[in-house]
A and B are shown apart, each in its own frame.
Chain A
Amino acid sequence: MANAPERFDAVFLPDGVSKISYEHPMNDPSTAVFRIEREDHTIGNLLRMQLLRDKNVIFAGYRQPHPLQHHIELRVKVKQPSSLSEESPVTALIEAITDLDQELNLLQDRFQFAVGRAQAAQSETG
């Protein structure tokens, strides 16, 4: 077991490593490849599908390069090349995250409401 990877490697973000970093391949500001550390298909697919709903995004895809490398690469291309204006891949990702967060917020509220009502109904019927 000497060469087995540590169990927490997939979970624990080491010091000095940033959670997310990105680069523009071929110096193309309309494309960015985000490297997200210590995440997997859970977040990768979630972000990809949300980005594809954005009409400015013309490509969004992700991959986990290797099962023993605990990061994913998310590639995003947007319509118009610009640096930090509305259409940059960074703002597209920020917006996608905001939308997902709002969706989950709503889901949380609705779930707690439904559970509260179900439990109240149960205690009434005994």
Chain B
Amino acid sequence: MEEHYSGRAQPGPETFESTGNDLREYIVYREAPGASPCAPIKQPPSYQFKPINWKTRKVDRQNLTVYFSLSRTEASTRLKAATRGQAMPNARFPTLELSECTDESLKFVLSRTDASVANALRRVMIAEVPTIAIDLVNISFNSSPLHDEFIAHRLGMIPLVSDKAADMNYTRDCECEDFCDLCAVVFQMDVEGQVEGTTVTSQHLQNVWFDPDTYPRASTVEPVHWSCGAEHPDPALDASASGIIIAKLKAGQRIKLEAIARKGIGKEHAKWSPVATVSYKSEPVVSLRLDELNNRLEVAQRQELLKWSDGALKWDARTNKLEYDDAFKYGRTALSNDFVRKCGEMLVQVGSHPSEVILLNNDPSRFEFFVESTGAISAPVVVVNAISVLRNKLQELQTSLRAETLDRVEHGLY
């Protein structure tokens, strides 16, 4: 109980009354005060969880953070780690704000973590979340203007609903001889051109294993015909409403084929990637060198600038200078794009370069993510699956590292 993290004087202990509610009464040593969320904690706090009897015990409030001031999940993570006897001095506790959430796209802010985590997440979403895509095409008849390989490639690019991909096997791991309904889905197509001309689309692909009772997994797989899954658009209004175009046939031309879809990941071929885009950017933090600003601009310009600051700046009537408002200091407001543009124009007018006054820093612990799904898996599920994939990778690595080490010990390499 006597550990301190900074050199500052410790205030005397004070009595802490129980609030009477039944929140988990555990305590955890607080992280070093003033430590930035991303910087490594210099002196590792020992996360010792001890039940407290609030009624009988005096608690040094400065030195402790009570359990319920942490979020429930964060605290339970620490608690689980502590019960396993692990101190976690180097772990991070990222937070997440979701701002837009539909099946197709997702916007969220990931903060209190490192660029390596954000980038790993992005890379896994693009390349390592499994989906199902057409991989093998047997063409039995093709008199269309497109050659066989062309059609096979186009078929591969069609996103297929892959909600059950996580439950399916990779064909190379499956116990079946060639392929089966546990590792593949078979589509058939036989289209003949009519006199008025026929457009072959993804809707002509028929799932052979459509029966949900016999094939609970394979029957759910079908092409994603429309960009919006909720409502079928009217073909009369929207040409793309008929599905994804594969080829166009004149009278008498014919395509007959069988397409076998398999599970795979984007690293093997981009057609298995569940996302159209995943991007992240770190948030720029705009600040000003106010002394320089006040020196270079005229009073009238400074007053004009005040109007653009949206409450981030205030006017000091005594000195006629601009100052930061408290709202800006406490991070409740920020300098807008319009302000930065206006300020830059004024500085150019007086012959200064804007970068001498306007400072741009990127906050390297805050990442704005944008995820757009192809429709194969809904965007929120892509993120959840990506985290699972990453965790499985790490756990597999740890297991085999332990096995490798034990192996060496047995063989006397240590």
Contact = CB atoms under 8 A, between A and B. Distances in A.
Nearest to B123: A42
B157 interface: no
A20 B397 contact: yes
Contacts of A33: none
A21 B97 CA distance: 39
A92 to B, nearest CB: 10
A28 interface: no
B153 to A, nearest CB: 14
Given A20-B400, A114-B97, A115-B98, A101 B394 contact: yes
Nearest to B265: A11
A10 to B, nearest CB: 6
Given A22-B404, A84-B409, A104-B394, A46 B90 contact: no
Contacts of A69: none
Interface residues of A, number: 56
Given A42-B128, A45-B116, A114-B97, A93 B394 contact: no
Given A22-B404, A108-B384, A113-B73, A101 B414 contact: no
Given A102-B77, A114-B108, A10 B90 contact: no
B96 A114 contact: yes
Interface in B49-63: none
A40 B120 CA distance: 10
B341 interface: no
B116 A46 contact: yes
B contact patch SS: helix
A18 interface: yes
B: interface residue count bin? 35 or more
Nearest to A49: B116
A77 interface: no
A111 B398 contact: no
A62 B267 CA distance: 20
Contact of A39 (B86, B101, B393): B393
B91 interface: yes
Interface in A79-115: 83-84, 90, 93-115
Contacts of B92: 99, 103
A108 B414 CA distance: 38
Contact of B269 (A7, A36, A101, A113): A7
A110 to B, nearest CB: 5
A50 B388 contact: no
Contact of B405 (A19, A90, A107): A90
Given A46-B116, A54-B90, A106 B398 contact: no
Interface in B365-414: 380, 383-384, 387-388, 390-391, 393-398, 400-405, 409, 414
Contacts of A90: 401, 405
Contact of A104 (B269, B387, B397): B387
Contacts of A96: 90
B81 interface: yes
Most chain A C-beta atoms within 10 Å of own C-beta, residue among B116, B128, B391: B116
Interface string A51-71: 011110000000000000000
20 contacts: A8-B172, A36-B397, A42-B123, A45-B120, A46-B116, A50-B90, A50-B116, A55-B40, A55-B44, A84-B414, A97-B397, A98-B86, A98-B398, A101-B391, A103-B92, A103-B93, A104-B390, A106-B74, A114-B108, A117-B98
Interface of B: 40, 42, 44, 73-74, 77, 81, 86, 88, 90-98, 101, 108, 110, 113-117, 119-120, 123-124, 127-128, 172, 265, 267-269, 380, 383-384, 387-388, 390-391, 393-398, 400-405, 409, 414
Interface of A: 7-8, 10-12, 18-22, 34, 36, 39-43, 45-46, 48-50, 52-55, 83-84, 90, 93-115, 117-119, 122
Given A43-B120, A104-B387, A111-B380, 17 more contacts: A8-B268, A19-B400, A42-B127, A43-B394, A45-B116, A48-B116, A54-B90, A83-B414, A90-B405, A99-B91, A102-B77, A103-B94, A103-B117, A107-B387, A108-B391, A110-B94, A115-B380
